[in-house]
Amino acid sequence: MTDTYKDKGARKRLVEELAQKGITDKMVLNAIGKVPRHYFFSNTFHAHAYLDKAFPIGEGQTISQPYTVAYQTQLLQVEKNDRVLEIGTGSGYQAAILCEMGASVYTIERIESLHKKAKALLMKLGYQFAAVCGDGTKGMTSHAPFDKIIVTAGAPVVPEELIKQLKIGGIMIVPVGDDKTQKMFTIIKTSANTFEKVELDSFSFVPLVGQNGWKE
């Protein structure tokens, strides 16, 4: 794995593009500027790594578009040492961004081959994190409650089990809609039994499949 001047230059331009598209959080832009996104691509597709586009990672899944990663991460308002649960490890790129921002990252992926590949890469890059293979719609009760939860696949409804695993005052970012488009939602847990919901922009994610998501 090498990170050349050409890669660094392409990454700098990507960060500028994201800032022009409205991403203002310096911690987010800084993390995107640091993590070599091309490590999450096979060599053949290296040239696609710094385009602001989603890209296939196998098993019918995708690494999210950089703008989407930046948008969700900005909404998450990550603070150093936050306990963050990610549903949908995919390539591991989003988890790497959260690690760079100083979060304690817990990530769940339902497809074993993707889980294994992402875990191996994140370990090779020297990140500290916990990665589990399983149904993320059930959350990770063994490590709950979390300060923040980020769902990186499209849910049919806000997964209530995940709200239960948020701390009071915690934030969850989740795309909710049908199988084609979803609205991004910010959920803020206001007490043990209440939460506020803010509806934001439209996106298009692969489906969140599981007990509290879409059925297989």
**Binding positions for ligand SAM, rule: CB under 6 A:** 61-64, 87-88, 90-91, 93-94, 108-111, 114, 135-137, 152-153, 205-206, 208-210, 213
Q: Which is nearer to ligand SAM, 36 or 136 (CB)?
A: 136
Q: Which is nearer to ligand SAM, 75 or 108 (CB)?
A: 108
Cβ 4 to ligand SAM shortest distance, Å: 22
Q: Which is nearer to ligand SAM, 110 or 119 (CB)?
A: 110
Q: What is the sign of the dihedral through the CA atoms of 121, 124, 126 and 130?
A: positive
35 and 7 Cβ atoms separated by less than 8 Å: no
Cβ 68 to ligand SAM shortest distance, Å: 8
57 and 90 Cβ atoms separated by less than 8 Å: yes
Cβ 164 to ligand SAM shortest distance, Å: 16
- Which residues partner with 56 through β-bridges? 62
Which of these is catalytic: 64, 113, 202, 204?
64
φ/ψ (deg, to 5) at 21: -80, 0
Q: Which is nearer to ligand SAM, 75 or 111 (CB)?
A: 111
| Token output for 134 | 């399983």
158-174 burial by CB neighbour count: b if 16+ within 10 A, else e? Answer: bbeebbebbeeebbbbb
Peptide bond into 145 cis (omega under 30): yes
Cβ 157 to ligand SAM shortest distance, Å: 13
Q: Is 104 a catalytic residue?
A: no
User: Which residues participate in catalysis according to the annotation?
Assistant: 64
